[in-house]
Amino acid sequence: RILERFLEHTGLDIKIKKCGGFFLRAPNHIVTVNHCADWSIHSTPIPWIDETQSYRYLGVDVSPRRGILPSDPLKEIMPLLRKISKAPLKPTQKVKMLLTYGIPRVVYGADMSLVGTVGLRRVDLEIRNAVKSWLHLSPSTADGLFYSSKVDGGLGLPRLEKQIAICQVKRWCKMMQAKDAKCKVLAPALLPKAAIAKRWKAATEVEVEGSLQSSLATTDPAVIGRKWRVSEFERWCGLRCQGRGLATFARDPISNYWLGDPWGLHESDYILALQLRSSTVSTLTTLSRGRRRNATCRACGRGWEGIIHVVSQCRSLKKNRMANHNNICRLLSIIGRTLGWEVKREKRITCPLLGTAVPDLILTKNGRGLVVDVAICYEVKPATLRRRAVSKVNKYDKFAPSICNTFGLTGVKTYGFVLGARGKWYEGNSEVLNEMGLPRSRKKALAKLFSLRAIRGTTSILKVFKKLSRS
Ligand SMILES: [Zn+2]
């Protein structure tokens, strides 16, 4: 009657075919369905939903007797993955489309209908496989690349098995801790104990201690599963091959900036950079993993063809490495000149006692000098870049008096300016930019630019290597 009056007032009409209703009664504890006279609106009967049927309501299917029916996220995600695969989009656009429009479509139903962990794991697997094929990543690429957060160097993809469980446990924590009196009474009665206990384990990685009900009532929902991405990253770092040198990228928004925003990277470079970061670039070493086989470098014929050899040792790619190094020097000298320094590149400094040194850059301004030598090195260990910077300082600091004499300076400071071949921004470089007088506001943007240049240099080496190793 309320609805009829509403329709009369507003002049609206109702599409009765799209309506549905069911009526549950339990006289003598036996539940009956639709055991009553027809319901109607303006004398048109509303279709009954019987026990064999269900009705889609707020994104889930509801059956009169069974309640919310389990959704089938695998069946829902597969056609979406197929459609995105076929779409004429760039690889990174496909990933973005999946994250923005694809996955959210299956999450709500799976969450509300308590889809089991095994089912969600299958969905995660299919999503990972699709992303791997779009981004041309090896099937053996570790999960860490997909699930670590971007600030740690991962793609930050959702993992339904984890996130849905976390969401459910959090919601039940909030229900159990609700201020509302009715909610407090109802929540324990409605709690699906077995299902939520399993979710507790998935969300927190430990079995529930003591009673589930009291754990839910006393745990701060904000802490549930808070560190799951960190755990993914730690597992990734722990891998013998794919985890090598990754710890250095933890909590580094500068060196990982490109992951979230492929700005400045061509698609092919972005893909190669992902392979680089996860140590899955195809070399004889990665191809023959587990099998003994001749892995002599196909490009130079000397040395073991692993990623470090290709990027930083291979003789056939020396020219390309020099070019990358010079690119960084050029960028640094442009910044220097913009800030009013006089810049000398590769100036020979001779000292009767120490011999000759050729630092990459000598910057002079108002009687002060900065000696900067640039290096790009592969991030093998967290200390690799710092060690290289220190060795640069040790090498050139001795020449400080000769440099002062040559240019009539009152003092010079010596620095190593070191970048990682996989894009690591060495924090010590910031001090060089400081000394050069770069405004604080521009430092971050430039650091990102240097990191990107280093990555692009390495990906260009990999492209040349691919050609050489094929011929
Ligand atoms: Zn080689």
pLDDT tens, 156-199? 999 999 999 999 999 999 999 999 999 989 999 999 999 999 99
What percentage of the chain has pLDDT greater than the value 90? 90
Measured CA to CA in angstroms, residue 128 lies from 137, 158, 208, 384 at distances of 10, 10, 29, 32
Q: What is the pLDDT of residue 291?
A: 62
Please give the distance, rounded to the nearest whole angstrom, from the Cα atom of residue 300 to the centre of ligand 1: 4
Please give the distance, rounded to the nearest whole angstrom, from the Cα atom of residue 144 to the centre of ligand 1: 29
Q: What is the pLDDT of residue 2?
A: 94
Distance CA(25)–CA(80), nearest Å, equals 41
Measured CA to CA in angstroms, residue 108 lies from 61, 71, 127, 131 at distances of 12, 9, 17, 22
Q: What is the pLDDT of residue 232?
A: 98
Please give the distance, rounded to the nearest whole angstrom, from the Cα atom of residue 258 to the centre of ligand 1: 28
Please give the distance, rounded to the nearest whole angstrom, from the Cα atom of residue 294 to the centre of ligand 1: 13
Q: With bands split at pLDDT 50, 70 and 90, how would you rate the model's confidence at 221?
A: very high
Please give the distance, rounded to the nearest whole angstrom, from the Cα atom of residue 311 to the centre of ligand 1: 9
Q: What is the pLDDT of residue 27?
A: 87
Q: With bands split at pLDDT 50, 70 and 90, how would you rate the model's confidence at 338?
A: very high
- Please state the pTM of the whole predicted model: 0.91
* Residue 389 pLDDT greater than 60, yes or no: yes
Nearest to 131 by CA among 238, 278, 311, 239: 278
Mean pLDDT of the chain: 94
79's tokens: 């056609």
Rg (alpha carbons) of the chain, rounded to whole number: 31
Please give the distance, rounded to the nearest whole angstrom, from the Cα atom of residue 386 to the centre of ligand 1: 26
Contact 357, 399 (CB under 8 A): yes
Distance CA(308)–CA(285), nearest Å, equals 11
Q: What is the pLDDT of residue 436?
A: 97
Q: Tell me the Ramachandran region of residue 372: left when phi exceeds 0, alpha when psi lies from -120 to 50, beta otherwise.
A: beta
Can you list the domains of the chain with their CATH numbers?
Answer: 2-68 (no CATH), 70-237 (no CATH), 243-471 (3.40.91)
Please give the distance, rounded to the nearest whole angstrom, from the Cα atom of residue 307 to the centre of ligand 1: 10
Contact 152, 146 (CB under 8 A): no
Distance CA(146)–CA(222), nearest Å, equals 23
Please give the distance, rounded to the nearest whole angstrom, from the Cα atom of residue 305 to the centre of ligand 1: 6
Nearest to 106 by CA among 93, 86, 122, 90: 122
Please give the distance, rounded to the nearest whole angstrom, from the Cα atom of residue 313 to the centre of ligand 1: 7
Average pLDDT over residues 428-443: 96
The string of DSSP codes covering 294-358 is --B-TTTSSSB-SHHHHHHT-GGGHHHHHHHHHHHHHHHHHHHHHTT-EEEES--EEETTTEEE-
Please give the distance, rounded to the nearest whole angstrom, from the Cα atom of residue 469 to the centre of ligand 1: 9
Contact 153, 260 (CB under 8 A): no
Please give the distance, rounded to the nearest whole angstrom, from the Cα atom of residue 416 to the centre of ligand 1: 27
* Residue 258 pLDDT greater than 90, yes or no: yes
Nearest to 213 by CA among 185, 252, 243: 185
Sign of CA dihedral 444, 447, 453, 455: negative
Please give the distance, rounded to the nearest whole angstrom, from the Cα atom of residue 464 to the centre of ligand 1: 12
* Residue 468 pLDDT greater than 70, yes or no: yes
Nearest to 256 by CA among 280, 283, 276: 276
48-74 as b/e, with b when 16 or more CB fall inside 10 Å?
bbeeeebbeeeebbbbbeeebebbbbb
Least confident of 22-31, 287-296, 412-421: 287-296
Q: With bands split at pLDDT 50, 70 and 90, how would you rate the model's confidence at 304?
A: confident
Average pLDDT over residues 397-418: 96
Please give the distance, rounded to the nearest whole angstrom, from the Cα atom of residue 466 to the centre of ligand 1: 12
Residues 6+ apart with CB under 8 A from 1: none
Pairing label, strands 40-41, 32-33: unpaired
Please give the distance, rounded to the nearest whole angstrom, from the Cα atom of residue 298 to the centre of ligand 1: 7
Please give the distance, rounded to the nearest whole angstrom, from the Cα atom of residue 411 to the centre of ligand 1: 42
Average pLDDT over residues 23-39: 92
Average pLDDT over residues 38-59: 93
Q: With bands split at pLDDT 50, 70 and 90, how would you rate the model's confidence at 303?
A: confident
Please give the distance, rounded to the nearest whole angstrom, from the Cα atom of residue 395 to the centre of ligand 1: 28
Please give the distance, rounded to the nearest whole angstrom, from the Cα atom of residue 240 to the centre of ligand 1: 23
Please give the distance, rounded to the nearest whole angstrom, from the Cα atom of residue 310 to the centre of ligand 1: 6
Nearest to 455 by CA among 261, 245, 276, 250: 276
Average pLDDT over residues 442-449: 96
Please give the distance, rounded to the nearest whole angstrom, from the Cα atom of residue 467 to the centre of ligand 1: 13
Please give the distance, rounded to the nearest whole angstrom, from the Cα atom of residue 321 to the centre of ligand 1: 13
* Residue 292 pLDDT greater than 60, yes or no: no
Please give the distance, rounded to the nearest whole angstrom, from the Cα atom of residue 465 to the centre of ligand 1: 9
Distance of CA 17 to the CA centre of its chain: 46
Contact 427, 237 (CB under 8 A): no
Pairing label, strands 411-420, 368-377: parallel
Angle at 33 between CA 32 and CA 39, to 5 degrees: 130
Cα dihedral 94, 97, 102, 107, rounded to 10, equals 120
Please give the distance, rounded to the nearest whole angstrom, from the Cα atom of residue 317 to the centre of ligand 1: 8
CB atoms within 10 A of CB 79: 10
Residues 6+ apart with CB under 8 A from 174: 221
User: 110-151: per-residue pLDDT in tens?
Assistant: 999 999 999 999 999 999 999 999 999 999 999 999 999 999
* Residue 289 pLDDT greater than 70, yes or no: no
Contact 32, 24 (CB under 8 A): yes
Average pLDDT over residues 329-348: 97
